[in-house]
Amino acid sequence: MSEQSAGTGIIGSGPLKGITVLDITRVVAGPFCSMLLADLGATVIKVEHPDDPDYARTFPPFVKGDDDSEISAFFAQFNRNKLGITLNLKSAEGKALLCKLVRRADVLVENFRPGTMDRLGLGYEVLKKENPRLIYTAISGFGRTGPNASRPAFDNTGQAAGGLWSMNGYSDRPPVRVGTIIGDLAASLYAAIGTLAALREAERGGEGQVVDISQQDSVLTLTENAVVRYTTAGEVATPLGNDHPFVRPYGQFQCKDGHVFFGGYTDKFWRITCEIFDEPELAEDPEIDTMEKRFNRDVATRRVTPILERWFTRHTKAELEEMAGDRIPLSAIKTIDEVVEDPHIAARNMIVKIPVAGKLVRMFGLPIKLSGTPGNACAKAPDPGEHNTFVYSRLAGLTPDEVAKLSAEGAI
């Protein structure tokens, strides 16, 4: 966007410098989206209720400050690089103030249940009158349309309703959730993509629009081949543990000190693997010499897996990775401490140090690497209302006395 139309650019450097985002979200489905935009240079303003701030501030783990105060590192991770203001959207003054901020913003992100902002008198139809170029990004469990739109949701709702939960785990046990909040994270990623696409369209045509993101929709797209297996063959995906529906060998294998992932299922990789382990003749074995034969579950279980276990259990994870090098797809299944200390992760700047309670805390970095205008994850998460005077003076033209008066009245 042009400098004139792109917002204020209060802070931020990177490809999104000049874009101003109002972040009216809490927990993860929303804060992660706006965190990505902030890391890429947008000026993101986190909006919290003065008496009811983001309750993720109470989530462990905590970092204790020199004054014995405790700050949530969980919250700090997803709200870094943001400015923080407080605003009571239920008060008349608060509503009017949000409208003033919207006039100077490019994006508003919210993750209320659909209809909440409308009931507050601050829905998209109202806000676009204040700023026709506004991108209104809404993240919810089931989206803004459809029979389930008003249902409440958490991450696990998305995993359950999107089909992923039913596919995860082992065949002889009840299905299990994916071991992270993947519904929240996926929705935030799609929200960031949709927001950038809508910004590009507004740049061309001058009109904003709603970006409607559903956790259920987002999780559904993570189910790989489950949909087409059902629609073409009538097969319903079920838990397979570490197996793949049809690709073999492609999974977890025991080694001397843990487990590795091995995916050398193609004829090329299988031949190289046989050479690495000094049994090249196995690449010519007529029972397992082609990828199609190795895909057969019975053949894989009876012949291929025992061969791989015989090879791998003689070596440690580190030895196997060194042997594999850049020749075959083999990777140690790393614990999180091993990942954090991984030299390759360090070389990619994927562990960054962010101030939390006066200390530097290591957390994940920005995975989007741009050669010309890289983003940066460096600034701490804001305290509630930390930047009230700064933001309201810059975006709404208020004096410090007016800010203080609105604070005393409970509007901010």
Residues tagged active-site: 184
Closest CA to 149 of 118, 107, 188: 118
DSSP secondary structure letter of residue 57: G
CA dist 161 → 30, 157, 164, 215, 218 (Å): 19, 6, 8, 9, 11
DSSP 179: S
User: What whole-number distance in Å separates Cα of residue 136 and Cα of residue 115?
Assistant: 14
Whole-angstrom Cα distance, residue 95 to residue 90? 7
User: To which H or E segment does residue 146 belong?
Assistant: none
- Count of CA atoms in the C-beta half-sphere (13 A) of 72: 17
Of 152, 244, 139, the closest CA to residue 193 belongs to 139
Concatenated DSSP letters for 350-388?
-EEEEEETTEEEEEE------SSS-----SPPPPTTTTH
Number of residues written out for the chain: 412
Report the C-alpha gap between 227 and 237 in whole angstroms.
Answer: 9
Distance CA 201, CA 47 (A): 26
